[in-house]
Amino acid sequence: MNEQPSSVAGAENAAAPLLQARNIVKIFGDLRANDDVTLTLKAGEIHALLGENGAGKSTLVKIIYGSLQPTSGALYWKGQPVTVANPAAARDLGIGMVFQHFSLFDALTVTQNIALALPPGLGMAELAARIRTVSADYGLPLRPDALVADLSVGERQRIEIVRCLLQEPRLLIMDEPTAVLTPQEADQLFVTLKRLASEGCGVLYISHRLEEVKRVCHEATILRHGKLVARVDPQQETAASLANLMVGSEVAVVKTTRGLAPGEPLLELAGLSMGTDDPFGVSLKNIDLTVRAGEIVAVAGVAGNGQGELFAAISGETLTAEASQVLFAGAACGGEHITSRRRRNAAFVPEERIGHGAVPTFTLSENVVLTHHAIGEGVVRNGLINPQAAQAVNAKVTEMFDVRKGTPDPEARALSGGNLQKFVVGREVILQPRILVVNQPTWGVDAGAAAVIRQALIDLARSGSAVLVISQDLDEIFEIADRIAVISRGELSDAVGAEDMSLERIGLLMAGAHEKANQAGGTAAAP
């Protein structure tokens, strides 16, 4: 919905643009991260900045926010040339930014966290009163005395937004703002952004969720390989046409078939309960789940509700109190470590691709050995690594998953995020495991890479494997899942058919509707 800005916004629109980045070039060694990019943003406008991973979005935003300086080009603020020396200078101008990854201290209160980012001089009681007023006024309710550790991820994002609003920004930069929100929370965020725009605030909106870009943004600037390739009205485009502009070619359509009868149970969780030593971790509570041969079951949920703990319990990074709480093809394996579980023909892809899924300073073939050493294609024989076999796996993954790289066997850190994710997923998929567990399979990857990964997961399931996907991306979940469950504060709802799950229902479950049912003595079924 394209709402008209207020008369205040209209007056500013008639004058100079709020922000203009003219002919920005940023060079890192041989890489031109931004190559003659110009972006114009008006007061009262919600403006999308789109592009694949590595397209130059983050570099441009860091220049606008003062975290980087351009190699050449200039910034203009309300028609006047400016040098934004650092983020403090950006905030002084009236530029605020809400980052994708929050910078909050769990052990401090809402008021204490916000105070750390504001100039000194305001008393804590007065600041708490302002937080209460501003948060309520913009539909982002917060309790100033609440401990951050006790808050949901959506509430934590409210802290970041309110912290910006207290500085009365004229330009608000939002980086993937709905990635951690329930559908209901996302709807409220859109109301807030439209309210800000109606008051004359400009919003620079970065997101890979193209349907929401169409819904809330007035204009879109699209980058590809550091260059400006298009300026469009997103409401006149389709999600597919926006994706094609970002990638430069047709994005593959993910093909799936539903309604097939699943086979035998291959992965079962039976009353899985597990505490955590992390004071800010999430305990798992009596989780029951079955994934059958030939199906994809997706676990949805807002980040920080036990997804990491669930993955660790299934993969063997954390052992369960009773072996029977985790079963692979009927065999109790809750007391077995990762390698033993892999020998049961299971494979695992963790959320963090760098450091957890791959060692950044190891070559790709060396990273193959990390998960193939106990199984698969003779990578290790008689206790010795077979480099030729590891190289062959690397080449096979590269071809099957279109992993783009400068040399045949670079270090993992040399790949872009999307290409490394394709490699990490592909390394496991080519084993054709009977069970595959993937945590956030397409987190932070572009539309083209996401389509490749999602199709691979579907094809693996249709070949007879059981695939469990843990994901925050609801578009992804509805695209590939046969059944969907929701995790909230360590409790898992029943898994129901994707055709029976709506956005409204999934949002209620994300907010803990099934927890309330359990506490009341009911079942874990969705409302």
Instruction: Check residue 140 and give its pLDDT.
Output: 85
Query: Domains in the chain, please, with CATH?
Result: 7-94+169-247 (3.40.50.300), 252-345+433-527 (3.40.50.300), 359-427 (no CATH)
Of 150, 61, 167, nearest to 114 by C-alpha is: 167
Who contacts 335 (Cβ-Cβ below 8 Å, separation ≥6)?
319, 320, 323
Rg (CA), the chain: 24
Alpha carbons within 13 angstroms on the beta-carbon side of residue 160 total 24
Instruction: Check residue 376 and give its pLDDT.
Output: 60
Q: Hunting for tokens 């009205």 — which residue is that?
A: 233
Instruction: Check residue 515 and give its pLDDT.
Output: 64
Q: Hunting for tokens 């394209």 — which residue is that?
A: 2
pTM: 0.77
DSSP states of 246-289 as a string? HHSSPPPPP-----PPP-SEEEEEEEEEE--SSTT---EEEEEE
22: tokens are 């003219």
Beta strands in 302-444 (DSSP E): 326-328, 331-332, 346-349, 380-381, 384-385, 435-439
Instruction: Check residue 215 and give its pLDDT.
Output: 94
Report the distance separating Cα 97 and Cα 83, nearest Å.
17
- Is 91 in contact with 165 (CB distance < 8 Å)? no
Report the distance separating Cα 278 and Cα 276, nearest Å.
5
Residues of the chain with pLDDT under 50: 1-13, 522-527
Report the distance separating Cα 386 and Cα 416, nearest Å.
27
Instruction: Check residue 513 and give its pLDDT.
Output: 73
Instruction: Please report, for residues 146, 324, 396, 406, 470, the alpha-carbon distance to residue 474 in angstroms, rounded to integers and kept in the order given.
Output: 29, 31, 30, 33, 11
**DSSP β-ladder status, 380-381 and 483-488:** unpaired
Instruction: Check residue 44 and give its pLDDT.
Output: 96
Q: What is the pLDDT of residues 103-117, one digit of tens each?
A: 889 899 999 999 998
Q: What is the DSSP letter of 355?
A: T
Report the alpha-carbon angle 177-183-185, nearest 5: 60
